[in-house]
Amino acid sequence: MRGKAFPVVTYVALILILTVPSSGFANFTQKKYYKAAYPGMSAKCNTCHSLRFPLPFYHPWNDYGQKARDIKKTPDVETYHQIGAAPVKHYATNVL
């Protein structure tokens, strides 16, 4: 069942996963812009996405991320100033 095609398909899929995500995802530059707009605050994936760790093929936006995308496809410092700081998210801890 696993002939020579399986490793080839696996390598092709791996290459696509590593190369396809480009401008649509928050990268170091986007985090740097957010930090420049709001010193002392840091941006994480869930600042703009509704998932804590978005996947390359599924990365839904939360309200803040959608606002930023509506203003500009790739937000910059001015965009973050226009929409304001992201609301702080608090996660429940494991308390017994």
Domain chopping of the chain, boundaries? 24-83
- Pick from 25, 46, 47, 23: which is nearest to 34 by CA? 47
> How far is it, in rounded angstroms, from Cα 55 to Cα 2?
27
pLDDT tens digits, 17-47: 655 544 445 678 888 999 999 998 888 888 8
pLDDT bin (cut points 50, 70, 90) of residue 71 is: very high
> How far is it, in rounded angstroms, from Cα 83 to Cα 77?
10
Task: Work out the mean pLDDT of the chain and round it to a whole number.
Answer: 78
Rg (CA), the chain: 18
Question: Which residue's structure tokens are 């308390």?
Answer: 95
For residue 89, report the phi and psi dihedrals to the nearest 5 degrees: -100, 135
Model's pTM, two decimal places?
A: 0.62
